[in-house]
Amino acid sequence: MNRPFSFYELLGGEKNVQTLIDLANEKYNNTSWKGHLDWDTPQMNLTFSVLTSESNLAPMASVIDVNSPKPLRSADGYGGYTGAIPKIGHGFDIVEQAMRDQQVIYGKGGLVDVSVLADILFNSVDKLIAGAHGRLNYMDDQVRSTGKLIIDTTNNVDGITLEVKYHVPESNYKKAGFGQTSKKAWSDADADPIQDLIDMVAFADDHSIVYDVIEMSKTLFNAFCNHPKVLSWVRNRMRIADNVSYPLGKNEILAALDGYGSLPSVVVYDGKQGMESDGVVSSVKGFDEGNVVLRPSVVGKMKNAISMHTLAPSTPDNLRTTIEDGRIAILNHWDAIKLVNHIELEGYAIPTLSNPKNLVILDTTEADA
């Protein structure tokens, strides 16, 4: 007796497969980059363009005579930047041996356990989607913490190189001690990290820069919490006498910063992504661990373009589905002769800064000149 043997047919067709894929995608509704960027409208062109305002201050209307014409404002004051939207993608092969290992195929009749087959598909799709968001998170982390995007052989071993400049003003890049008489990197016991944070906020206020949070990596925050000047400042805020032994934890330090009133909330970030090289997956970080960032909660848009896979028809052997409201395509190809199910994902996306001037970046590893 001939039995159908494709993922498409065994799992109940395109609708059921899409349901499985939607379930896998729901896990990433709160993935990191979505806290800082909004999806932009999908476009067909693979070149993105961002229009930015040169100033966060709009000119006041003039007080004029009742019969006077309204003065015209300058059309200048706007800038922008453009770049290419890169393709992201990867895939997996589910071969017959893998199915046997999961007891999907058993007995002389080649009977199939559909629930286990669905589990294998779900797990494979989950890895694909996790990897896509991992790349988007990596790019977002890099852009958010450095104001630049550099894709090279160190973070993209089997792909292309790409560099995007977001035109963050040079004056927004600071080094430790930039507002102090004694300029020290944070690794120096005589540095004053909290004063650096205060000076970053003062710089932003003086230049009409919009901000909501101060962000730093978990590694840097741990060092920050152990810095003698920070501990002394927090003890003074808590009115702990010098002769009183009272170990300070991270919660006390965050509470002291929050209660000071001159600083926005401090966000401690510990994002990691996996990168595969020669079959080995290692942990990498896009967020620059030596930098502190003063920024708005939402920094920009995730520009994206339509994958041609989303426009091509589906067949029982070439099932095409999508995630993220059609922005990322998943191709599920079944080879009935080789008993191989090939699943691959592709999309076009890149993070952009809506207003690069609202990013203030402090390099804590170097003292200001």
Closest CA to 315 of 8, 2, 52, 1: 8
- Summary mean pLDDT of the chain: 89
> How many beta carbons lie within 10 A of that of residue 156, not counting itself?
17
Angle, helix 193-206 to helix 228-237, in steps of 10 degrees: 80
Distance of CA 299 to the CA centre of its chain: 11
Evaluate if residue 65 carries a pLDDT over 50: yes
Mean pLDDT calculated for residue range 329-357:
90
Q: Where are the beta strands (DSSP E) in the chain?
A: 37-39, 47-53, 78-84, 87-94, 105-106, 111-112, 148-151, 162-165, 173-176, 213-217, 265-269, 273-277, 280-284, 291-295, 300-305, 318-323, 328-335, 340-353, 360-367
Q: CA of 103: how far to CAs of 3, 21, 34, 94, 121, in Å?
A: 17, 22, 38, 13, 14
Q: In DSSP terms, which residues pair with 41 in a beta bridge? A: none
Among 13, 94, 40, 88, smallest CA distance to 309 is for: 88
Phi and psi for 50 in degrees, rounded to 5? -125, 125
DSSP 271-318: --EEEEETTEEEEE--S-TTEEEEE-S--EEEEEE--GGGTSPP-SSE
What is the tens place of the pLDDT at every residue in 189-219? 999 999 999 999 999 999 999 999 999 999 9
Q: Give 262-277 pLDDT, tens digit per residue.
A: 999 999 999 999 999 8
| 254, amino acid identity | L
Strand-pairing partners, residue 25, are none
pLDDT at 9: 72
DSSP code for 34:
G
Band of pLDDT at residue 110, cut at 50, 70 and 90: low
Question: Looking at the predicted structure, is the pLDDT value of residue 173 above 80?
Answer: yes
pLDDT at residue 102 in the model? 66
pLDDT reported for residue 99: 72
**Burial group, residue 194, by CB count within 10 angstroms (0-12, 13-18, 19+):** buried
Q: What is the pLDDT of residues 135-150, one digit of tens each?
A: 999 999 999 999 999 9
Distances (CA, A) of 7 to 26, 124, 296: 21, 13, 45
What's the pLDDT score for residue 335?
A: 80
Query: What is the pLDDT, as a whole number, of residue 312?
Result: 87
- As a whole number of angstroms, the distance between CA 363 and CA 341 comes to 48
Residues 6 or more apart whose CB falls under 8 angstroms from that of 361 comprise 145, 146, 147, 168, 172, 173, 174, 291, 292, 293, 294
pLDDT at 108 over 50: no
Whether the CB-CB separation of 331 and 320 falls below 8 Å is answered with yes
Token pair, residue 354, equals 């809506």
pLDDT at residue 97 above 80?
no
Domain coordinates in residue numbering, the chain: 7-54+80-166+300-354, 170-271+360-367
How high is the pLDDT of residue 56?
67
| Of 21-35, 123-137, 188-202, 234-248, the least confident | 234-248
The pLDDT of residue 96 is above 80: no
The two three-digit tokens of residue 134, written as one number: 């991992």
Query: At a CB cut-off of 8 Å and minimum separation 6, what does 303 contact?
Result: 40, 43, 48, 50, 85, 349, 350, 351, 352
- Per-residue tokens: 60: 């006041």
> What does the pLDDT average to over 130-139?
96
State residue 359's pLDDT score: 98
Model pLDDT, residue 118: 84
- Return the closest-CA partner of residue 265 out of 275, 276, 273, 256: 256
Q: What is the pLDDT of residue 55?
A: 65
pLDDT score recorded for residue 76: 56
Mean predicted confidence (pLDDT) in 2-27: 77
Q: How confident is the model at residue 75 (pLDDT cuts 50, 70, 90)?
A: low
d(CA 95, CA 101): 10
Confidence of residue 7 (pLDDT cuts 50, 70, 90): low
Residue 340 has a pLDDT of 82
Evaluate whether the domain defined by 7-54+80-166+300-354 bears CATH number 1.10.3430. no
Residue 183 has pLDDT above 70, yes or no: yes
The pLDDT of residue 2 is 46
77 — pLDDT class (breaks 50, 70, 90): low
Predicted pLDDT at 60: 80
